[in-house]
Structure 1
Amino acid sequence: MREQLQELGEPLVLGGDARNDSPGHTAKYGSYTFMEMNINKVIHVELVQKSEVANSYNMELEALRRGLVWVEQTDLELGTIITDRHVQVRAWIRQNLKEVQHYFDVWHISKGLKKKLRAAGMKKDCELLHQWTKSITNHMYWVASSTPDAGQEVMAAKWSSMINHIMNIHDHETDVFPQCLHGPLAEVDERIAWILPNSTAADEVIRICQSKYLLKDIKMMSPAQQTSSVEAYHGTINYFAPKLYVYSYQGMHARLLLAAMHFNENSGRAQRKKKDGTEQWSISHPRGRDTYVLRKVLVNPTYEYVHELFSESTRLALSRNTNLREETPLLCNVPPPMSTSMERPTMDEALEREKSRFAKGP
């Protein structure tokens, strides 16, 4: 993998995101995935145990830092990194990776925006927002993809033009993006439920979409690669390490690496074709969406990595190396179990405390 990355002959474009082993802020493990977006391969995975940091919220930043140390130690040049909007990650990259271009994944921004728009649409006199929510989030993707040079002011102007557009105003007070790019809308005007200027719905859209925090994020949207492949890899992990079960540190790490091997081998699968040579598609209805989604049907995955693992396991077994664990960093650099930091009295002490507790009475 290292040789393949060095043969690219250009700085890495990394997509990164964290995954916890359980929902919420009670996770025991936090992993961070580094994927090279030009080749769509997982190049590194870091695992952090909660006891190694102050709390589970800090696991993402710690895993990111460790992974970037690995990138530096392998003599790979980092040019661009694409992440979510995690506050700690954002601040750390700004302070420590000043020469690296940092972008945000558009999906993570649109996800939060959609949630706010749907909540606003439940308010009185704001029902029209439900009809515009999809168009507004789609516009966010267009803003990013139509600005390949990632010009921040152009992105901000394109985004702000949406406020005028949904009110049937298509000329804007900026030289950067003076008017909408669509043609005349006279023929379809009657079918569009425009939001009236100065209405309650208009005020809600402006409040949400012109937030200074959102505008900062808009200016940092990735114009090309997104981290959807990282999310796909995280979905693959669920087959190897379901969140319903608890694993040891080494067991969790091994399952993350197995998932990475499986993903890397199958990340470039072709679309399946029918007997007549046409490409095969399927229609699905994802949970949480009110419409169908058209998906490509891919050829079956392969498992060549399993044969490689068997061969390597056989070689190691035949070598009879009794110092293998001590010589393998992933096996010897393991944090102690979390239970070791907790008080563990003897059985007699525990029974005595139980008796004294009941002896006190109510």
Structure 2
Amino acid sequence: MSAAQHSRWVVPMLAAALVYLGWRARRRPSRQNSLADAEASLLAGRCSPRLVAALPSEVRGRRWYPQVLVSDLSSSFTLPEGSRLLGLHLGCMDHPPESLVMLRSLADGWEVDARILLKRYARYSLLAFGWLPAFEAGSRALLIGLGAGSLAHYWLSCAPGGAELRVDAVELDGAVVRAAREHMGLRSVEADGHVRVHVADAQDFLREVEEEAYDLVFCDLDIGVLLPHDAEAGASKKTVQEIKCAKRANADDPPRSMYRSLTMRGVLVLNEYSEESPSVRLQQLVSCVRSLRRFFPEVHVLRPTDQNTLYFAPVARSSSPDTFLRDIAQRLQLPGVDFQSLLADLPPHRCQVYS
């Protein structure tokens, strides 16, 4: 083959090879995905999870959710040296992880890096500490919907007075608890007695909960199951005596149970996840606010993502409800979270108060 003929073959082959390599690069998840934008990267499918464990669900009758999976997402992100990023999925790994946990290596294994909350709604939920400046000796918190336990780790390690805190965590599916214990660092906070895990239905647990047991109640599950949709709007200013009388009332419905479980300085936080249309989400918001306003003097509503809506309901009325969250964002300081930036990211219609 002459040199001219050779060049006629080589140039097209090199061009084809470059095109192929570019195509492969576009398909391959980039290691440069930023942790700051981890949730968006996961939702956009820019990650390649590696299966770590698959556990059959212990809850019957959920065809969409036959198993609980743990994935290793470390290769899809630029992580600190000696770190791993694990995700907990329900059903299959095509679904974005319900929970994310960062682990860092130790001489004898791995521990949870509690400072890192990668779920956007979880970071916004920490605004609850505007009502709770610090946990005190004997303080308790209730986490309904344990997942991998990242919030429990954060409360204990990073919240003021967290060393004094005891957490009751309720999870319906024992497979989720096993995954969190065996792969995602939950055992470390169970072993020292700071967290007690209850494999139970949330409604059953709330029905039996003690009165004024918790300073903080966080509900992270399908709240449509817990909150009635035909609740009447009500509630307003209450005296201390009226609050105590309401707490002693019949505790058959979940909003009342959550209310009576809180101390006088307590706050309830609900995370609602919905992929419904905007009109349906608006109906859900109105229904939820009405349910809560039967007992709580005010309800603050934030929409940190298109799918997540957070409800903050304190037992005691705030001094200035209309500006309370904006005010506390200026003074609240917790590791790994810039609250002023969080609220600055929200347009006005995504930050509202009902009082």
Coarse TM-score class (shorter-chain normalised): under 0.3
Normalised TM-score (structure 2) = 0.26
- Structure whose residues are more often strand by fraction: 2
Q: Which has the larger radius of gyration?
A: 1
Normalised TM-score (structure 1) = 0.25
- Structure whose residues are more often helix by fraction: 1
